[in-house]
Structure 1
Amino acid sequence: MNQSDLPDRFPIPFANGATSTTIRTLPTAHQTASSTDAPASLEDGFPIECFTPEGSGGVPPNGKDLNAILKWLSEQAQWNQAGGPALFDATFASAIGGYAKGAKLASSATNGVEWLNLVDGNTTDPDGVSAANWARVGIPAAQLGTNGYEKRASGVLEMWGQISIGQDSSATVSFASLFPELTISAIYNVQISWVDSSISSGSVQGSSGISTPSAGGFTIYNDGTGRVHHWRALGA
Structure 2
Amino acid sequence: MAINKPLDNAVPFAQDGLKNTIPVESGNGNAASMTLGFPPITMQPKSTGGLPPSGKDMNAILNQLSQHQVWLNAGGMYPFSADYAAQIGGYHTGAVVQSDDGRSAFISIQDNNANNPNQLQTGWKPYGGQILLTTLANAIFHIGYRFMTGNSSYNPAIALEALFGYQTTWYLWPYIPVGVANTSASLGEIVMVGGAGIQAATTRIWERLPDGASAPTYNLTATQTTVNEGAQVTFNLATTGVAQGTPVDWNITGIQSADISPNALSGQFIVGADGTASKTITIVADEVTEGTETLKFTLTYISGKFVNVTISDTSILPEQIVTISSDQPAGLNLRSAFVQLYGEPTANTKAVFVVESGVTIVAATAESAAIYCGVWASGSTREIRIMSNALVAGRGGKGGDGGGDGNVGDPGWQEFPAQDGETGGTAIEAEIGSPVTVNNYGLIAGGAGGGGAGGGAGKPDGTVRGMGSSPGGGGAPYGLAGVPRYSNYDVPSADRAKDATLNTGGQGGASYTEPSTAIWAAGGNGGNIGLNGQVGGEAQSGNSVYMTPGQSGGLAGFIYQGPVTINNLSDGQTKGRTP
**Same-fold call, TM cutoff 0.5:** yes
The within-5 A match list for 1:146-161 is: 146-148=154-156, 149-150=159-160, 158-160=168-170
Structure-1 residue corresponding to 2:19: 23
Structure 1 segments unaligned to the other structure (5+ residues): 163-187, 209-224, 231-236
Q: Which has the higher helix share?
A: 1
Q: Deviations over 1:108-158 (max 9, x none)?
A: 13x432111110110111112x4421112435388x961134369898974
> Which of 1 and 2 has greater Rg?
2
Query: 1:136, 1:155 within 8 Å by CA — same for their partners in 2?
Result: no
Distance 1:132 1:27, change over 3 A: same
> Is 1:11 aligned to residue 27 of structure 2?
no
Which residue of the other structure, out of 112, 116, 124, is the alignment partner of 2:103? 112
Mean Cα displacement is larger for which, 48-57 or 68-77?
A: 48-57
Equivalent of 2:123 in 129, 133, 149: 133
Asked if the contact 1:26/1:42 (under 8 Å) is kept, the reply is: yes
Higher normalized contact order (CA 8 Å, seq sep 6+, divided by chain length): 1
Q: 1:136 to 1:58 in 2, by over 3 A?
A: same
Is 1:98 paired with 2:83? no
Percent of matched pairs sharing the same residue = 28
Assess if the C-alpha contact under 8 Å between 1:29 and 1:43 holds in 2.
Answer: yes
SS at match of 1:67: helix
Q: CA deviation at 1:226?
A: 7.4
**Aligned residue type for 1:203:** F
Q: 1:198 aligns with which of 242, 249, 256?
A: 249
Q: Normalising by structure 2, what TM-score?
A: 0.28
Once the two structures are superposed, what CA deviation does each residue of 1:13-64 show, in whole Å capped at 9, x if it has no partner? 110112xxx201111111122xxxx110110010001011222222110011
3-state SS, counterpart of residue 91 of structure 2 = coil
Listed one character per residue, the Cα deviations across residues 189-215 of structure 1 (whole Å, up to 9, x for unaligned) are: 63455486432322147948xxxxxxx
Deviates further, 113-122 or 189-198: 189-198
Who is 2:59 aligned against? 67
**Separation in 1, partners of 2:91, 2:100:** 16
Q: Secondary structure at the match of 1:198?
A: strand
Contact 1:150 1:159 in 2 (8 A): no
1-side partners of 2:92 and 2:165: how far apart? 23
Assess, with a 3 A threshold, how the Cα gap between structure 1 residues 154 and 121 changes in structure 2: closer, same or farther. farther
Cα distance in 2 for residues equivalent to 1:156 and 1:135 = 20
| SS of corresponding position for 1:202 | strand
Is the alpha carbon distance of 1:31 and 1:229 closer, same or farther for their aligned partners in structure 2, counting shifts above 3 Å? Answer: farther
Cα separation, partners in 2 of 1:42 and 1:70, compared to 1, 3 Å: same
Match of 1:183 in 2: none
For 1:83, the equivalent position in structure 2 comes to: 75
| Distance in 1 separating the partners of 2:171 and 2:54 | 68
3-state DSSP class of the match of 1:114?
A: strand
> Does the 8 A contact of 1:87 with 1:105 survive in 2?
yes
Q: What secondary structure, in the 3-state scheme, does the structure 2 residue paired with 1:55 have?
A: helix
Relative to structure 1, the CA distance from residue 27 to residue 65 in structure 2 (aligned partners, 3 Å threshold; closer, same or farther) is same
Is there any run of 5+ residues in structure 2 with no aligned partner, and where? Answer: 138-148, 173-209, 219-247, 251-265, 277-296, 304-579
Provide, for residues 50-91 of structure 1, a one-character-per-residue CA deviation record: whole Å limited to 9, x for no partner. 011222222110011100110111110111111101211111
Q: Give the conservation status (yes or no) of the 8 Å contact 1:198–1:205.
A: no
